[in-house]
């Protein structure tokens, strides 16, 4: 790891100020991606602004069907929240399958979404649950947030503070984890609220997480796994690597979507 | 150099290190507690698992400065004098180790796992919970057996105390 200078922020404002004073600074949430990347010398921020001790960024509030999750909430805390489980168990289940128990104790929802790894699980939930991403500057709709691989609408120095959404009637997430890395080779989050259906796909698309309009239309017409049988998933927009070519991934997307609908019930 | 202060195994300690120093290196080199191991150095093997503020974490993927002010427990801190922790005793009794390199991380993982599940563990849960710990000797069978046996023992002790 190259040299770096560590700063611990006491509040969101303090963090933004520290970033303003830094050279090539980076915010540090749980560090489960950033520290690992720095060790490989793939990232070399001059300054690290640690957000982990900002109490206001942590915790889950459920008010009726309205859910707010602080960006600094760990995967473990999302997975084990009884209040969240009562209204949106799919999100708890997603969080409980990220990395391993130790990673889930450190990693945060805000860190995962801000990084926007194309194989990360959370971006699919943000998109399918139509979350509002609240930052220290503004509110961003999920549909405007994800721009591409590792690329979001966040501006330099902008910090995600929380995520909010209205719990769906039905939702589920299913992924096919790479047998070695356990990252999703295809992960599909389906959510139904009233007549509206949203389907978000992660791990597979060559431009990062995306919504699949074809599957959404089919599921609006009939909420059942078989409703997806005739929907085509374009292999042209899938990633290809040594683990799976684009045709294989396109098929996986459909299989995961069917499993998700089946598991949502 | 930055001054780092933390409570390790109940003792307040401090030391000077670079901001880029990993917690595992601080524990091993500054504090001389070499029970915590570095296996893969890429957050995968779990040989470096310790407890920070009561939760299991991988100390090879945390900076020492991040842990400043926290409560740390390492493998050296779980026995009571010469009496092994029930998880350590179960690993010994069930032959839950061969070369022993992964064992400190396995034991710290098991202690955290039993704490979270309240002693109510089954084989499938233990195997899932071991996702972040790699053993190249045992084939995991006796590790799983050790953890289940310790969970029974600790759950039983808890009931007896109530």
For the stretch A41-77, pLDDT in tens is 999 999 999 999 999 999 999 999 999 999 999 999 9
Cα A94 to Cα B140: distance, rounded to the nearest angstrom: 26
Q: What is the pLDDT of residues A196-249, one digit of tens each?
A: 999 999 999 999 999 999 999 999 999 999 999 999 999 999 999 999 999 999
In a mutational test of the B interface, the residue from A39, A72, A100, A177 whose CB has the highest number of chain B CBs within 10 Å is A100
- Full-model pTM: 0.95
**CATH number corresponding to B2-77:** 3.10.20.30
Select from B55, B61, B66 the Cβ nearest to the Cβ of A36. B61
Task: Count the helices and strands in chain A (H runs, E runs).
Answer: 11, 14
Place of tokens 């191991």: B37
Cβ distance A101 to B18 less than 8 Å, yes or no, reads no
Q: What is the C-alpha separation between A71 and A57, in angstroms, rounded? A: 6
Q: Say whether A101 and B129 touch across the interface (CB within 8 A).
A: yes
User: Between chains, do A102 and B56 touch, taking CB under 8 Å as contact?
Assistant: yes
CB contact under 8 A, A182 and B42: no
| CATH fold for the domain made of B86-161 | DNA polymerase; domain 1 (1.10.150)
- Name every chain A residue with its beta carbon within 8 A of the beta carbon of B112: 101
Instruction: Kindly determine whether residue A100 and residue B132, on different chains, have CB atoms separated by under 8 Å.
Output: yes
Which residues 6+ apart lie within 8 Å of A224 measured at CB? A261
In a structure prediction context, what are the per-residue pLDDT tens digits for chain B, which is 162 residues long? 999 999 999 999 999 999 999 999 999 999 999 999 999 999 999 999 999 999 999 999 999 999 999 999 999 999 999 999 999 999 999 999 999 999 999 999 999 999 999 878 999 999 999 999 999 999 999 999 999 999 999 986 555 555
Domain spans of chain B?
Answer: 2-77, 86-161
Secondary structure of A172-232 in the HEC alphabet? EEEEEECCCCCCEEEEEEEEEECCEEEEEEECCECCCCEECHHHHHHHHHCCCHHHHCCCC
Q: How far apart are CA B17 and CA B2, in angstroms?
A: 5
Domains of chain A: 5-50 (3.30.43.10), 58-166 (3.30.465.10), 170-264 (3.30.390.50)
């Amino acid at each position: 790891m190259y040299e770096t200078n560590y700063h611990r922020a006491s509040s969101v404002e303090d963090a933004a100020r520290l970033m303003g004073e830094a050279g090539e600074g980076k915010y540090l949430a749980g560090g489960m991606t950033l520290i690992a990347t720095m060790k490989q010398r793939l990232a070399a921020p001059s300054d690290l602004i640690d957000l982990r001790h900002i109490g206001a960024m942590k915790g889950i509030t459920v008010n009726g069907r309205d859910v707010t999750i602080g960006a600094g909430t760990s995967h473990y805390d999302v997975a084990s929240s009884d209040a969240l489980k009562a209204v949106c168990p799919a999100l708890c289940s997603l969080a409980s399958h990220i990395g391993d128990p130790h990673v889930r104790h450190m990693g945060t929802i805000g860190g995962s979404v801000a990084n926007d790894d194309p194989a990360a699980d959370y971006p699919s939930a943000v998109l399918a649950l139509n979350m509002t991403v609240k930052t220290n500057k503004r509110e961003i709709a999920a549909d405007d947030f994800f721009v591409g691989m590792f690329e979001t609408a966040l501006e330099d120095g902008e910090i995600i503070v929380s995520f909010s959404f209205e719990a769906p009637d039905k939702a589920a997430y299913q992924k096919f984890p790479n047998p070695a890395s356990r990252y999703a080779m295809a992960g599909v989050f389906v959510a139904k609220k009233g007549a509206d259906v949203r389907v978000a796909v992660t791990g597979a698309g060559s431009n990062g997480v995306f919504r699949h309009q074809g599957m959404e239309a089919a599921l609006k017409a009939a909420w059942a796994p078989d409703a997806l049988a005739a929907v085509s998933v374009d292999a042209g927009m899938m990633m290809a690597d040594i683990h799976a070519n684009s045709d294989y991934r396109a098929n996986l997307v459909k299989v995961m979507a069917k499993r998700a609908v089946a598991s949502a019930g | 150099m930055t001054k780092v202060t933390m409570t390790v195994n109940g003792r307040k300690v401090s030391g000077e290190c670079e901001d880029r120093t990993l917690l595992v290196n601080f524990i091993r080199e500054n504090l001389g507690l070499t029970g915590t191991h570095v296996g893969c150095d890429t957050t995968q093997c779990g040989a470096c698992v310790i407890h920070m503020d009561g939760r299991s974490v991988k100390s090879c993927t945390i900076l020492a400065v991040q842990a400043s002010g926290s409560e740390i427990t390492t493998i050296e801190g779980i026995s009571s004098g010469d009496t092994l922790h029930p998880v350590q005793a179960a690993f010994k009794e069930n032959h839950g180790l061969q070369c022993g390199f992964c064992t400190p991380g396995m034991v710290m993982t098991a202690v955290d796992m039993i704490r979270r599940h309240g002693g109510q563990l089954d084989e499938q849960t233990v195997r899932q919970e071991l996702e972040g710990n790699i053993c190249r000797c045992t084939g995991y069978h006796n590790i799983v057996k050790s953890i289940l046996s310790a969970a029974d023992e600790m759950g039983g002790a808890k009931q007896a105390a109530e």
